[in-house]
Structure 1
Amino acid sequence: MSGNDKFEGFIPDMMKEMTKILGIEFSINVVKDARYGLCNNGNCTGMIGEILRGEAELAIADLTVAPKRVLTVDFTQPFMTGGVTVLVNNPDPNLNTLEDLLEHGYSFLCVGGGSTENFLKSSRVSIHEKIANSLETITNFNEGFERVLKSGEKIAVLAELSTAKYHASEHCSLKIIGEPLNSVGYGIAMAKGIAVRTNEGVFEVRTLLDHAILQMRYDSTLELLQSKWWPKKC
């Protein structure tokens, strides 16, 4: 397969539906450094950096609408909500809470340089601080997922709820422990203030994308796509 056909999942399907509503074409590219993106002293990584450098026009993923990011790029309204969750493999039946994991000596894996790491290290909630103190950063989620699934170590991987639910439905030995650590929205990011001319006038790109998201919410397209990609198998 080539082009967009190389990709499958909720996001590509959602983008296809958006093209029907907006009459646009798109080309999917994977972010080069495998990061969502943060900015430090003007240097921005991940998808956020590629947007700012003009290497991409939109960033579409389970990209958290975070306080620092909205000062750098524009976001649409959330197309999905979620939060940071904890995923473990073959847990003891008595391990049901994050406190249980900490008491039994579990350490935690988290993708470095993203909003999840920043959230944990800046949170003043006691359980979040304890997790942050036993945190090991990894390059990407798949690295942590493979370790949790195959290594037999006392480790848990932190993941967005959508990612955790998908893998827990594919591998019945995996379990999401406790409730999400926070509540966030996932939005589409773009450079600030960009606009396009249409047959109906000049619109900010964010407004057009918000229109498409609302349309997909009203006609249940987003709900149907979630049911397709997060089936309950276990």
Structure 2
Amino acid sequence: MKLQAVDRDRERLLELFRVWEEVSYTLHEGHHNHCRILYAHVDDESFDRLLHIFPSREEAMGAFLSYAQELGWEEFPTTFVVYDVEWDGNSLLAGIKTKEGVEFYTQTQLENMVRKMAVHHRVVVYSSDVLTYIKDIYPEVDSKSYVIARIIAKMTGSAPDLEQIARLHRVSVGTLEERLNFIEELVGNVVRLPQGELQLPSISLPLGCLED
């Protein structure tokens, strides 16, 4: 297991390993611009030392991760899902894209969609507006979301709408599937803006680094 956290309060982060003293780990530091990052590589096999308390290694690791998240850690992101919606004034159509492809869900199927989203470390959206449709059933989505418009606005002062960016890239975003494909293309890559080009940060960075 690999964890990461914005290194604002080292003592609080290290509380994890003082409480879970049976777990073997190594730490190393990194940075993104002025954001300090602490990484922890945790030996999965060391959780077997806790089998007198937990019925399985997986349950021990799950409890460990839950406590880690309370202290500000997160699993190092290796997977993401792209999410967007289409609203015609009467009905909602939501879409997600993963490595398995694009899937669409009606408003009555959102819980099924969220179950598929929840297994991924990051939820990628262009605008945070679309998160409002699932916050009631997926309250932790804010803490997992890579919001492209927010990142652009943080770096440049403002963000155009997706359609304007698509025109600069000469890409069609007339359908929900096209929007999902284009949003995926932007992740961690160079985005063309009216004022020039901007390199978007890696999706693997702690979200706190994108907000600093």
TM-score (norm. length: structure 1): 0.28
Q: Which has a greater percent of strand?
A: 2
Q: Report 1 or 2 for greater relative contact order, CA contacts < 8 Å, sequence distance ≥ 6.
A: 1
TM-score (norm. length: structure 2): 0.30
